[in-house]
Amino acid sequence: MKLDESDSGLDVTVVIPAFNEAESLAELVPHVARVLDGQGIGFEVLVVDDGSSDDTVDVVTGLHAVDGRVGLLSLRRNFGKSAALKTGFEHAQGRYVITMDADLQDDPEELPLLIADLEGGLDLVSGWKRTRHDPISKTWPSRFFNGVVSRVTGIPLHDFNCGLKAYRAEVTRSVALYGEMHRFLPVLAHTQGFRVGEREVKHHARRYGQSKFGPARFVNGFLDLLEVVFLAGGSRTPLHVFGRVGTACLVLGGVINVYMFILWLVEGALRVRPLLLFGVILIILGIQFISIGLLAALIHAPASRERDYPLGHTLLPLGSDEGQARTTGSLLGFLHRHGQGESHRGQSERASEAGSVVNRSGEKGTE
């Protein structure tokens, strides 16, 4: 499999977050190298040690001594999987980034298939462990969780929490990863306009150690889902969300109280009625919701102003210094790919003043 390399000369970066997985890493990393070498893919492996207390650092150091393409990023303490992935993403140099768990339950033989899906046009490919070799205490809650997330977000994936995923590098640079948001990377990418898909992958039983996640992850997952749905709501600001609820309460409460006022004019007396109290409560709630929205908007505004928006296809305008600098190479590359080659070199140089065509990832086209 021959891929177009990134600026760093690497096709793929494999990021492996690890917490006390020394025995598994000793088998996993060489297996990954064999698979990618067999496909002729240039790669690097970044093992992110999430504060392990076993021999993880020593094992990876030994693997690096044997194969310099293996790297180690060691966090000073256990910060969690999202922090480990974020650290790996920040140091990845490959055009594609693949994440996989360190427990040997993900199969390295799947890597070329995931890469092929990216080559086919997807921006993020999530693994789907249709057949899982885990106890029922994990499989059934996970199935329920995935069903709820798919329903709420509208993204038809079966396994959001699968550790085996492949990304274009621009996806890993665009999503904000913190807390325990690693479960929702497909959702975060989808809301930014990236194309998300899935592939059924093999799943193996754990051979060493034990799972690092307990029942609390499902509670945290549903709480994080609320945050994701709220924060990833496109152009909606906190004031839009809370303001709509508050406005509805104010309108309904106002209608009720207008009705009670008319009733008072007709009857000449007004007794304390449950409907009157309900109308007053709705007005108070409406004011509170709008006030919360205003406060949240003040907090949210700085982050919104600093937000970067991912680009797809781009044309640099005439007169752009960057466009003029790269135009000739871009057009020559285009002509070369379309079989016109050297005979059009002079024409393409004269046409270099017309602008620069940029590919979908935002990098300028070259030969």
pLDDT tens per residue, range 268-306: 777 778 888 999 999 999 999 999 988 877 776 555 445
Q: How far apart are CA 72 and CA 75, in angstroms?
A: 10
Q: How far apart are CA 32 and CA 100, in angstroms?
A: 10
Any idea which of 246-255, 326-335, 350-359 has the lowest mean pLDDT?
350-359
Per the CB < 8 A criterion, the answer to whether 85 and 131 are in contact is no
pLDDT at 326: 44
Closest CA to 104 of 163, 184, 62: 163
pLDDT at 309 over 70: no
pLDDT at 323 over 60: no
Assign 97 a pLDDT band (cuts: 50, 70, 90).
very high
Closest CA to 198 of 135, 110, 139: 110
Residue where the block lists tokens 């979908």: 360
| Gap between the terminal Cα atoms of the chain | 20
Average pLDDT over residues 131-158: 84
Q: Which residue has the higher pLDDT, 44 or 337?
A: 44
| Average pLDDT score over the chain | 79
Helix (H, G, I), strand (E, B) or coil at 317: coil
pLDDT at 139: 79
Domain 12-231 coded CATH 3.90.550.10: yes
pLDDT above 70 covers a percentage of the chain that reads: 75
Residue 199 backbone phi and psi in degrees, to 5: -140, 135
Any idea which of 88-92, 271-275, 343-347 has the lowest mean pLDDT?
343-347
pLDDT at 312 over 70: no
Domain boundaries, the chain: 12-231, 238-305, 314-358
Q: How far apart are CA 209 and CA 20, in angstroms?
A: 8
Q: Which residue has the higher pLDDT, 296 or 324?
A: 296
pLDDT at 344 over 60: no
Assign 41 a pLDDT band (cuts: 50, 70, 90).
very high
Q: Please spell the DSSP secondary structure of 44-101, one letter per residue.
A: EEEEEE-S-SSSHHHHHHHHHHH-TTEEEEE-SS---HHHHHHHHHHH--SSEEEE--
Per the CB < 8 A criterion, the answer to whether 239 and 296 are in contact is yes
pLDDT tens per residue, range 192-202: 889 999 999 99
Residue 367, beta-bridge partner list? none
Q: How far apart are CA 44 and CA 32, in angstroms?
A: 10
pLDDT at 224: 78
Between CA 228 and CA 292, with CA 220 as vertex, the angle to 5 degrees is 50
Any idea which of 19-28, 36-45, 342-351 has the lowest mean pLDDT?
342-351
pLDDT at 335: 44
